[in-house]
Structure formats: C-alpha cells, structure tokens
Amino acid sequence: MRLYSASLRAFAESVAIQCYIAMRSKIALFAILILTTLTAENAPIPPKQNWSFAKLTGTFDRGSLQRGFQVYKQVCAACHSIKYISFRHLKALGLSDAEIKVLASQYQIKDGPNDDGEMFERPGRPSDYFPRVYANDKQARAANNGALPPDLSLIVKARLEGADYIYALLTGFKDKSDFKGSPGQYYNEYFPGHAISMAPPLSEGLVAYNDGTKPTVQQMACDVTTFLAWASEPEVEQRKQLGLKVLMYLLVMTGLFWVTMRRIWKTIR
C-alpha cells in the first residue's frame, strides 16, 4: 500500500500539515506520520515470487541453497560480508563436516593476541564466522564509490518485501537512456530512488553450476535470494514444524475441553 505519485504525496502531506497547524489536531499529526511511512519509498512493489520457504510447511530447497551459496561466494562475497554466519552453520545446506573443514581453512581469520601481544592470522575453523570483506566501513566506502555494501546476513529481514525485494533488485537493472545518476550509479527498477551504487552483479552464465542447472540471471538471483533468506532465518524450518505441532495440540485440547465442558454442565443442569 504505497502512493506512487510524488505530487499527490506532497499535496496530501501539506494538507495534513495545514490541518495540524490550524487545529492542533492529534489526528492530523497521526495522518502526517502515516503518510510519510506509506510514501517513504517511491519504488514499485516487487512482484510476489513463489518461494518454497514461504509456505506454511515451507522448507528450503537444498539444491537452491547450495547453488545460492556458490553465487554468494563467487560473486557477492567480493563486496558483501555475511558476518552472522559461521562455517559450521553451512551444515544446514547439506555440506558434510569434511567439506566445511576444507572450506573454512581457505579463509584467513584474525586471531590473537599471542604471547607477544600481537594479532595474527590463521586458517579458519568450522566454528569461525565468515570474516569481514573490508577492514572497516571507511575502506568499504572508499572501494565502492562512497557507497557502503551492507552485510547480507540479515538483509532479507531488513527489507520490507524481504526475498521478493532482493530478487526484484537483482533482476531489476535496466539500461535507461534518460537516467541521470552520478558516475558509478546504475538504474534499478526496484531500488528506492532508482539510482543504486552497485553495478549489476549478475550476468548470464557468470557461475558454473555443477548440478547442470542453467545459470541464467533469474536462476542465480533466485538461488542467492534463497540462500540469503536462509541466512536471515536459519531456524525457519524448525519454527514452522513446531508451530504446526503446537496448532495440532491446541486443536486436540480444544476438542477435549469442549467435551469436558459439556459433561460438567450436563450434571449441573
């Protein structure tokens, strides 16, 4: 529910502000608040996708998760960290302990201080978290034209339309001749304001999937979004399973209580 037209928004806001000034009405103040929230982002609503994990009994497609991690590792990891994910978490993707050990050892992790008081680097262990890509935010901005590539571990939760938005963003780059962004900015249909400082990260055939899936832009976007949705909420499968069990339990209890109530009231009547 968003108003698209900027002029309509400005008009509605100025009316609400006038009402507030004239009447000091709390309702007008409330209307201003609602209007600013509803119209904060002037980007189209991303189309709904049919995510396997969004359903009531939803689970993550393991193949898609693994391919998505591959896309993250080979493409997005050049700029984006996933600092809340540790190597051992990847067991949920179907990686074996041995594979995780090998993967972790390919990363250099800062540790220490040692007995001389110095920090040092060592190969990663399964219990380590994915290291940062840049030493700090300033370095990240310096390398990206002043824009900060956000950490992606919670990005699906951090955006209003979640996975639909991430997918739409990754597939929403367009060549627009009348686009006037500053240098290093690209037109994206779904990014608020449309000028994003991230070059289109995906292109046809960018990664080589080893399960025979065709690496189209849409496929890679879908896989990496599935991976990021998992990263944002790794416990979603257990949560849904437990939720279903609780619902069943409550249903049975409701039946039992109803029968009990009937019996008790029968003798009283």
Q: How many angstroms separate the CA atoms of 81 and 137, rounded?
A: 11
Site for ligand HEC in 79-138 (CB under 6 A): 79-80
Whole-number minimum distance, CB 96 to ligand HEC, in Å?
Answer: 25
166 binds ligand HEC (CB under 6 A): yes
Applying CB under 6 A, the site for ligand HEC has a residue count of 21
Q: Using CB under 6 A, which of the segments 38-46, 70-78, 102-110, 236-244 binds ligand HEC?
A: 70-78
Residue 150 phi/psi, 5-degree rounding, is -70, 155
What does DSSP assign to residue 128?
S
Site for ligand HEC in 189-208 (CB under 6 A): 196-198, 201-202
78 binds ligand HEC (CB under 6 A): yes
Whole-number minimum distance, CB 41 to ligand HEC, in Å?
Answer: 9
CB-based contact 84:157 (threshold 8 Å): no
Q: Which is nearer to ligand HEC, 100 or 202 (CB)?
A: 202
User: Applying CB under 6 A, which of residues 150, 189, 200, 233 lies at the interface with ligand HEC?
Assistant: 150
User: Where does residue 242 rank: exposed (0-12), middle (13-18), buried (19+ CB within 10 A)?
Assistant: exposed
Q: Which amino acid, one-letter code, is at 33?
A: L
Tokens 């994910």 belong to which residue? 85
Supply 66's token pair: 């693994």
169 binds ligand HEC (CB under 6 A): yes
159 binds ligand HEC (CB under 6 A): yes
Residue 121 phi/psi, 5-degree rounding, is -110, 140
Q: What is the dihedral of CA 117, 121, 125, 126, to 10 degrees?
A: 100
CB-based contact 12:35 (threshold 8 Å): yes
Residues of the shown chain interacting with ligand HEC in the complex, contacts defined by CB under 6 A: 71, 75-76, 78-80, 144, 147, 149-150, 155, 159, 166, 169-170, 196-198, 201-202, 224
